[in-house]
Chains A and B, each alone.
Chain A
Amino acid sequence: MVEIDLNRVDEIIERYKGEEGVLIQLLLDIQSEFNWISREVIARISERMRIPKSQIYRIASFYKAMSLNPVGRHIIQVCLGTACQVRGAPKILDRTEENLKIKEGETTSDMRFSLRRVNCLGCCAMGPVVVVDGDYHGKITPAMVEEILEKYE
């Protein structure tokens, strides 16, 4: 699990000082740096920016790109855009879920993998597509899933 350095959070908050309507941008910056947004971070933002915690939770839980749970060492994205759907992506997601014994949106208990379904990565020619830590694996079949996962310790 990535520990969140609150000093770093302060630095990010500093970037947006005095600007209006920046909460989403701020949370996105934190999300992309730490891959999740912890309770402590929300408390800190609330205190520094004088925004009620409830409002921050509301935003962080509304938007797909923000996660309130810590993520594993590797992030698996299974594309379920329409093109991948038509080419059999649900079977890929099923296989991955069965293999890791978690559902999409969850993280394995050993913190090795977090599994997400995403809507269209825009590389439909490769579909069905699975992206692990930014590596694209295209034209995936259910039988290939295990081998791909094994590459990531």
Chain B
Amino acid sequence: MPGVRSKGDLEGLRSEILMKRDPNKPYITLCSGTACRATGSDTVAAAIQNELEKQGLTEEVGVRRTGCHGFCERGPIIVIHPEEICYLNVTPEDVPEIIIKTIKGKEIIDRLLYTDSSTGERIVHERDIPFYKYQTRLVFGDNLRIDPTDIESYIAIGGYQALTKVLHEMTPEEVLEEVKKSNLRGRGGGGFPTGRKWETTKNAPGEPKYVIVNCDEGDPGAYMDRSIMEGNPHRVLEGLTIGAYAIGSHQGFVYVRQEYPLAVTNLGIAIEQAREYGFLGDDILGSGFEFDVKVHRGAGAFVSGESSALMNAIEGKVGEPRPKYVHTSESGVWNKPSNLNNVETWANVPLIIDKGAAWFNAIGTERSKGTKIFSLVGKVNNTGLVEVPMGTALRDVIYKIGGGIPGGKRFKGVQTGGPSGGIIPEEYLDSPVDFDELTKLGSMMGSGGMIVMDEDTCIVDIARYFVDFLCDESCGKCVPCREGLKRMREILDGIVAGKGREGDIELLEEIANVMKKASLCALGTTAANPVLSTIRYFGDEYEAHIKEKRCPALVCKELISYYIEPEKCIACLRCLKSCPEGAIEGEKRVIHVIDQTKCIKCGICFEVCPPKVGAVMMISGKPVPPPVPEAERVIERRGGERR
């Protein structure tokens, strides 16, 4: 493939690619992100190949494995073009029927379509499914349209147009000005204005300058960066190259975690192809601009995602933060000016150049422009990646797109901002989601994790979970963070174990204040947010744990007991047989009783007791009733009162 040297070349190549395609040729796209691979996308792909061969259709039907479509709840997802028929939860067994009926017979298989749970209506097109209908997929939407391992499929949808425009029609200053005017703010957590950061690096003394992509994604509830990197790596590379041109950098790095093997692979392929086509290298698009990219795999440390720590990691050192009075934008990798942005931030750049800052400014709120991708997970019906304009109400995301809470349970709160964020209760569900609103609520945007919690989630346990996570991840370099987290964990461990004391809450707040003021990096300064926000909104749950030794959500192991209600037990032996400790005593037609001294509270008895019997229950905050007297334990076979 000859390198692309000019705007004309790119246009020519694009029409050539499009010409080769027959718009009427049927083709199948199959979602092949990590989540869909976990649910069997690979076996579905093999089945498709197999069936096409069997039917002699390999020439007539195209297959494209795309990145994540976002609707992970219902993966693997297949879309059949040109009709754009969308099938969900596809298994290898469905494949022959799909090929014979839908591809050959042009007949729709109702069973595989999305069914609206309220109206019973079946929906044929992906875009009409409520999960997608209420989204604005500017950054993420192209995942459906391209094969991430084929640069031509990116070029076909207008890829690298923005880069061509920048290199041939704009000065670096004009590019910078456009990005500044767009008011794009960083998607990696802090929401720092991207244009201003670029400018700092551009103006900082010292050569060479570096531009860096942060794909460390350490937040344990977010996976949008991975899905962009897996599904559309060229978009990120294009944004990065545009940034490099504006800033005056000739060397880029992508920091991507090793735990994301598919992202690492697809990125590697993308870089190779970009070089081959002339989008990276010595003389990009014939403009004389020189830029190349190196991949640095991260080795799994949350703190290494912090900007100064990441610079250390790229240098091959331990990824610990540096003192913050030196900004990495001025002195980063090998003490050279280094501009770091998040994956999603970079992926927005080509869009802004293509469509203009004014267009971008029309989306979102006063101070947060554009869209944001969230990973909507936890106790929600439609788990998946969701992209909405800034300012969309939390309620719309959780209910309209997410389909609400499963199992008729009550909503309790939504956690945003990962380990640096907080939990927002029901009363603020109508708040618009943007950088400033979330901060006002004591949480933050963070990388975009949105974890929905219902009445069965214990808020104190979640606060403890985050503190425990951060305790493990704190690098230990500064005392407030290292010791503060340990002490907070101790106190919270005590509270969930029923050893909470009067004054614990005040002590937590005091430690939090010191950490906020005195920690070296944002890991420490924000680490108390999960605790503070939950004390603020869910103080009564802390009180219940501390004063009544009661866990209202029935989660905290030390505060609950399992108990078999004698009136309900049908003595079916199910729990008795599956108890790993042999802690349940009884026999056929003899009511079962849990020996509380042997019970390890694994919850298996609760799980295996048939729902319509429902004899096993959890008790918290009050004593377990004494076992039924021996004489009353035998169940008489009375005319079917108990089966």
Contacts and interface: CB of A to CB of B under 8 A. Distances in A.
A142 B578 CA distance: 11
Interface string B187-228: 000000000000000000000000000000011111100110
B602 interface: yes
B418 interface: yes
B134 interface: no
Contacts, number: 142
A80 B75 CA distance: 22
Nearest to A79: B220
A87 B72 contact: no
Contacts of B34: 121-123
Nearest to B297: A28
Interface in A8-52: 20-25, 27-28, 32
Interface residues of B, number: 59
B258 A83 contact: no
Contact of B258 (A62, A65, A119): A65
A85 B462 contact: yes
Interface in A98-112: 98-99
Interface string B286-301: 0000000000110111
B377 interface: yes
A125 B315 contact: no
B359 to A, nearest CB: 31
Interface residues of A, number: 45
B383 A98 contact: no
A127 interface: yes
Nearest to B223: A122
Nearest to B304: A63
B299 A65 contact: yes
A24 to B, nearest CB: 5
B602 A62 contact: no
A64 interface: yes
Contacts of B457: 86
A72 interface: no
B221 A28 contact: no
A33 B304 CA distance: 23
A52 to B, nearest CB: 13
Contacts of A95: 580, 602, 604
B227 to A, nearest CB: 8
A94 B581 CA distance: 13
Interface in A42-82: 58-59, 62-66, 80-82
B377 A21 contact: no
B301 A122 contact: no
Given A86-B453, A123-B39, A138-B38, A20 B316 contact: yes
Contacts of B375: 124
Contacts of B383: 83, 124-125, 127
A110 to B, nearest CB: 20
Given A62-B301, A86-B379, A142 B220 contact: no
B296 A87 contact: no
B319 interface: yes
A82 B415 contact: yes
A58 B71 CA distance: 41
A126 B258 contact: no
Nearest 5 CB-CB pairings of A with B = A21-B316, A82-B221, A63-B299, A122-B223, A64-B300
